[in-house]
Structure 1
Amino acid sequence: MRHLQPCGCRFLWGKRNTMTTDLDCNNLTKRFGDTTAVRDVSFSVQQGSFFSILGPSGCGKTTIMRMVAGFLEPTSGDIRIKGKSMLNVPPNKRPVNMVFQHLALFPMMNIADNIGYGLRRAGMAKPDIARKVGEVLERIGLPGIEHRKIDELSGGQKQRVAIARCMVLEPDVLLLDEPLGALDLKLREHMKIELKALQAAFDTTFVYITHDQSEALVMSDQIAVMNGGVFEQVGAARDLYYRPDTAFVAGFVGDSNRWRGTVEQAEGERIALRTAEGLLITSATQGRGLVLGQGAEIFLRPEAIRVAHDAADLAQFDNRVSGVVSSLLFNGAASRILVRDEVGEEIEVTLPQSGEFANLTKGAPVHIGWAGDQTTCFADRG
């Protein structure tokens, strides 16, 4: 990727004060007939930050974005951009712009005309349009392509042109509606890095919606995990991954082993859960008011599990299981195995990339162990 260099546009000058907010949504609710798509959601987005709304299809994230953009009016609540209410303000009067999944570039126009379209609509003089288009193309690392056609660009270049078309209008907030969804996997991985670099270079507030956890984790300063019309948790990527507030967040963000069962022991900050298959799992993350006999769920990241040939090598762990390798899941740096334990459950384990366990084979006997404080436990909501 080319290094993004500063230019003379107003929106490219140094970092702004990130102690204030560009977007505040207060008690947003949106109902469609008897269906409540968004229920009393409140959040704020700091100036110059990358904020993602992450959730499955139908959770309400697109509805929030359409309300911020002005395509939908909330049933109740308020949307403020730089402190000013946007209620009843039409989309074309709001200081926002939007990048769609399918980009909506005009194939009959060249690059300069695509990027300058909004400026022409605003009545800017042609020399000023040409200057600003050249500046923004330089900024996105694509100088000198003004006269090329859209169909001459790669997928990644089209993404950057779509962003440039928005950024040349100098919005306070840029909304991105799953813009990487139509790209192939390798290009998506590349564009995640590029998008974060572009956001930092422009120093503009990005609000990004996605169902892809990898996109949100890699790019975002803050992530809101959404489910059933509400935010389950808002926080930095590491907090969501290592300190989830709910079972939904624990299961949706990242990969986890998951067990349901009954609390068989509860003592201080420790519990023991007995699964339906009979496996006893100790957790040091009680602290949630769980009591004896209560249904609960425990989550464990595959990378928190240690592998050994000898059970004695795992004596320091609260949880120790013997089993055999039932599947090999090779994926380069993220290679894993499935271990079938004594009660027939399969546990996913991240493999070391070198050493004695790097070449385990299917059917090989192994011992695995993990500390109780590596698990996350919640009351089972069914």
Structure 2
Amino acid sequence: MSPDLECKNLTRRFGDTLAVDNVSFSVPRGSFFSILGPSGCGKTTIMRMIAGFLEPSSGDILIRGKSVVDTPPNKRPVNMVFQHLALFPMMNVADNIGYGLRRAGVAKPEIARKVEEALDRIGLPGIGSRKVNELSGGQKQRVAIARCMVLEPDVLLLDEPLGALDLKLRERLKVELKSLQAAFDTTFVYITHDQSEALVMSDRIAVMNEGRFEQVGSGQDLYYRPDTAFVAGFVGDTNRWSGRIERVSGDEMEMRTDSGMLMRGATHGRSLSEGDRADVFVRPEAIRIAHSAEELAHFDNRITGKVESILFNGAASRILVQDSSASGEIEVNLPQSGEFSGLSRGCEVQIGWSGAQGNCFAAGDA
């Protein structure tokens, strides 16, 4: 079975600016694929080329094995959900959902049947007669998706559709979007700068930076096995130290940080040598906190510091520890079991982590 979407050596220039630089990827049928990256990295340009709103400078775009580069937007088997949804306020919900079907000349009884079926699938049966301005933000989001899905596109493109919503609604709709994708069994291609959205919803994620894909993989791959320093720093929370490598032995290395600390880390097969400048990334959840150094004696890396801030947020709570060697603040997961009592701003603590948890990259790779 051919992939639903395949981009081959896709390139787009705007004058002297290279917005998309020779990008190739494929999206399997019925999957949820996200392109994640900072503003200006080129992800929206890719989306607009797939939709047909921009022509590639070079390369090819195939949908179910057929090139669509020369196909106008209204003839491509794709549809698009924009950030601001673009629902028609003068129409009720049913008319909004059925708009594309009417334009395509579908008979009224068939439109009514498809609209009711779509409303059932998005979990909003019986609201076809309601006005758009009577809907909540989440309901509008689902109606916008239903309006696209009644046209039965091979690929649905979603351009940061949760960006205009409040935080609590975005959190709920992350789960709903994934459920809707499964319900319609349609390939979703989603672009976002929000790593949480991509990690929660996607089967596979492409991390994009300066017009290129840094890495394509599952959320677990990107988080636990980053290929580049950019991915390590962009996906998830992390602590970063810079310095110069003093020893490399197999997959293990020792680096003298710029603040003077000797730190152990792992190269994970990357080519690094003594004397090289390097960056080490350590996740907050890999770091343990204690009252005394003896409690952390089994860790390769240990630091004395003072609690700078306690950021309580339930399961996602953090402690910011000021390193006594003045290398900056270190982010540590707050223990959830309550075994670290007496924690307060300004108190002295010990933190430690295993060298295997320190992911090392050559400096300048970020």
Distance 1:251 1:358, change over 3 A: farther
| Alpha-carbon distance in structure 2 between the residues aligned to 1:75 and 1:267 | 46
Of 59, 62, 76, the residue aligned with 2:41 is 59
Aligned-pair distance for 1:306? 0.9
How many equivalent residue pairs? 364
Note if 1:370 corresponds to 2:353.
yes
Which residue of structure 2 aligns with residue 195 of structure 1? Answer: 177
| Alpha-carbon distance in structure 2 between the residues aligned to 1:275 and 1:157 | 51
Which residue of structure 2 aligns with residue 285 of structure 1? Answer: 267
Which residue of structure 1 aligns with residue 363 of structure 2? Answer: 380
| Alpha-carbon distance in structure 2 between the residues aligned to 1:20 and 1:220 | 20
Which residue of structure 2 aligns with residue 16 of structure 1? Answer: none
Of 234, 246, 260, the residue aligned with 2:242 is 260
Deviates more, 1:95-104 or 1:305-314: 305-314
Aligned-pair distance for 1:358? 5.5
| Alpha-carbon distance in structure 2 between the residues aligned to 1:121 and 1:151 | 23
For the residue of structure 2 that corresponds to 1:57, the secondary structure is coil
Q: What pairs up with 1:32-51 in 2 under 5 angstroms?
A: 32-51=14-33
Aligned-pair distance for 1:357? 1.5
Deviates more, 1:57-66 or 1:332-341: 332-341
Please give the TM-score of this superposition, normalised by the length of structure 2. 0.98
Of 323, 347, 372, the residue aligned with 2:330 is 347
Counterpart of 1:365, as a letter, is E
Aligned-pair distance for 1:192? 0.3
Of 115, 129, 142, the residue aligned with 1:160 is 142
1:285 and 1:372 in contact (8 A); partners too: no
Aligned-pair distance for 1:182? 0.2
Which residue of structure 1 aligns with residue 310 of structure 2? Answer: 328
Counterpart of 2:101, as a letter, is L
Aligned-pair distance for 1:210? 0.2
Q: What pairs up with 1:1-382 in 2 under 5 angstroms?
A: 20-285=2-267, 287-344=269-326, 345-357=328-340, 360-381=343-364
Distance 1:370 1:97, change over 3 A: same
Aligned-pair distance for 1:285? 2.7
Aligned-pair distance for 1:339? 1.3
Distance 1:358 1:88, change over 3 A: farther
Aligned-pair distance for 1:359? 5.1
| Alpha-carbon distance in structure 2 between the residues aligned to 1:170 and 1:359 | 59
Aligned-pair distance for 1:334? 1.0
1:271 and 1:286 in contact (8 A); partners too: no
For the residue of structure 2 that corresponds to 1:231, the secondary structure is strand
Aligned-pair distance for 1:289? 1.3
1:222 and 1:236 in contact (8 A); partners too: yes
2:2 and 2:65 in contact (8 A); partners too: no
Aligned-pair distance for 1:314? 1.2
For the residue of structure 1 that corresponds to 2:94, the secondary structure is helix
When the two chains are superposed, the root-mean-square deviation of aligned CA atoms in Å is: 1.1
| Alpha-carbon distance in structure 1 between the residues aligned to 2:52 and 2:159 | 14
1:140 and 1:198 in contact (8 A); partners too: yes
Counterpart of 2:69, as a letter, is L
| Alpha-carbon distance in structure 1 between the residues aligned to 2:54 and 2:74 | 13
| Alpha-carbon distance in structure 2 between the residues aligned to 1:360 and 1:111 | 53
For the residue of structure 1 that corresponds to 2:158, the secondary structure is strand
Counterpart of 2:154, as a letter, is D
| Alpha-carbon distance in structure 1 between the residues aligned to 2:2 and 2:347 | 57
Deviations 1:72-102 (A, max 9, x none): 1101000000000001100000000000000
| Alpha-carbon distance in structure 2 between the residues aligned to 1:315 and 1:67 | 55
For the residue of structure 2 that corresponds to 1:218, the secondary structure is helix
Aligned-pair distance for 1:287? 2.2
2:36 and 2:206 in contact (8 A); partners too: yes
Q: In percent, how many aligned pairs have the same letter?
A: 74
For the residue of structure 2 that corresponds to 1:264, the secondary structure is strand
Counterpart of 2:40, as a letter, is G
2:30 and 2:187 in contact (8 A); partners too: yes
Aligned-pair distance for 1:246? 0.3
| Alpha-carbon distance in structure 2 between the residues aligned to 1:284 and 1:276 | 18
Deviations 1:178-197 (A, max 9, x none): 00000000000000000000
| Alpha-carbon distance in structure 2 between the residues aligned to 1:204 and 1:289 | 41
Aligned-pair distance for 1:235? 0.1
